[in-house]
Amino acid sequence: MPGWRVLLLAVACALSVANVYYAQPLLDAMGREFGLDEAAVGMVVTATQIGCAVALLLVVPLGDLLDRRRLMIGQLVLLMLALAAVASASGAGWLLAGMAALGLLGTAMAQGLLALSAALAAPGERGRVVGAAQGGVVIGLLLARTLSGALADLWGWRAVYLMSAALSALLAVALALGLPRRRLPSAGMGYGALLRSMYALVLTEPVLRVRGMIALLMFAAVSVFWTALVLPLSAPPHALSHTAIGAFGLVGVAGVLMAARAGRLADGGQGQRTTGAGLVLLCLSWIPLALLDWSLWALALGVLLLDVALQALHVTNQAMIFSIGAQAHSRLVGAYMLFYAAGSGLGAIAATTVYAHAGWPGVCALGAGFSAAALLFWLATLPRGVAAKPREGQCQNAAG
């Protein structure tokens, strides 16, 4: 794949996925405007994750059936309308509905682009290309948390979504010009059969089940952290601005580098080793994160460890499931990311509830518990004498 097209896909992933995460540094501002307390404001993130789940179940699989170029551009047009709706929300109900729409369309775009990256890449470069696209997702997360905080401090939280609508319009033009007009492998079945086949993939592919469960637990842990972080940092004694809180996301830039490296390791058959290292790092990250009240430098170290672990695990998971078959890339990423959405939604609503009752120590205990559960699950399902990188079409003989 030409380097400029890899870059275009990475940028598109970044701008798409950012819409799902803009709200995280803005929860306190949204809560004040719409009268939501600390426990209830987590529903803003949960509504977004509900939209993510609907997208993964009903929209992302369409990439295995329809022309992907037209599908991406059509979704971008709808995304612009959803962004305008959130920017003009007049009540909590409208806000939650708009956030659900952003979760649906932002997720459909980002995951559809990842599946497209895997389909366009040659088998020997798939991990590298998917790693680059996933690097775009990481940059999108960083931009979402940092840029939304800065814009909210200058012009209010609604300006964040107006800005994103303008960027989405530019992206639509770039994709129309840059995506190839090339027929890719399709499923060759109706929409109903396509959706049912996702369930069959989960039942018949051990790699998908194991990697999906690891994703559920690790994203629950990460969502616990990022959802609750704004609450202690915006309150005394820290009383940080939205810009300062969002800047903590920049610490995770090392995750972008790790995403590409993890993809290359998976291409070379080192997926299980990368998984083990990532899960251990995920567990260890909660030690410095728990020191937030004593040191913001310790918090920054914990964010670095958390993001590096997350990206190494996520890219490895995707590289392994994409080896199952070229005609099922969209359904595979859709099924895998359903586990992600479930974990993120669970972590978001649990984080604010636990914080309201047990403060930051309770949040860290919850996140560490999810991380330890992911490590134990991987150890319990680790195959013996099976290569870490399954060959195309032979994943049913592997256990994860």
pLDDT of residue 390: 42
**Amino acid, res. 15:** L
Q: Of the segments 48-52, 81-85, 148-152, which one has the largest average pLDDT value? A: 81-85
3-state secondary structure of 314: helix
How does residue 254 score in pLDDT terms, banded at 50, 70 and 90? Answer: low
- CB of 232 closer than 8 Å to CB of 360: yes
Short-list 34, 59, 58, CA closest to 44 = 34
- Residue 139, classified by CB atoms within 10 Å of its CB into exposed (0-12), middle (13-18) or buried (19+), is buried
pLDDT of residue 267: 67
User: What value does the CA radius of gyration of the chain take, rounded to a whole number of Å?
Assistant: 20
Short-list 142, 140, 138, 137, CA closest to 114 = 137
> CA end-to-end span of the chain, whole Å?
28
CA distance 373 to 283: 10
- CB of 242 closer than 8 Å to CB of 150: yes
- CB of 263 closer than 8 Å to CB of 127: yes
pLDDT of residue 165: 93
Give the model confidence (pLDDT) of 336-375 as tens digits.
Answer: 888 887 898 889 889 988 998 889 999 999 999 999 999 9
Our CA dihedral for 389, 392, 394, 400, rounded to 10 degrees, sits at 30
- Mean pLDDT, to the nearest integer, of 11-18? 93
- Residue 206, classified by CB atoms within 10 Å of its CB into exposed (0-12), middle (13-18) or buried (19+), is middle
pLDDT of residue 149: 79
pLDDT of residue 396: 37
3-state secondary structure of 117: helix
How does residue 399 score in pLDDT terms, banded at 50, 70 and 90? Answer: very low
- In Å, the largest CA–CA distance within the chain is 60
Short-list 130, 115, 135, CA closest to 14 = 135
CA distance 171 to 55: 20
The DSSP annotation for 36-76 comes to --TTTTHHHHHHHHHHHHHIIIIIGGGGGTS-HHHHHHHHH
- CB of 215 closer than 8 Å to CB of 314: yes
3-state helix, strand, coil in the chain (%, to 5): 80, 0, 20
CA distance 164 to 80: 8
CA distance 11 to 223: 23
Give the model confidence (pLDDT) of 192-203 as tens digits.
Answer: 888 888 888 888
Whether this model's pTM surpasses 0.85:
no
Give the model confidence (pLDDT) of 287-325 as tens digits.
Answer: 999 998 898 899 989 988 998 898 889 888 988 887 776
- Mean pLDDT, to the nearest integer, of 377-390? 70
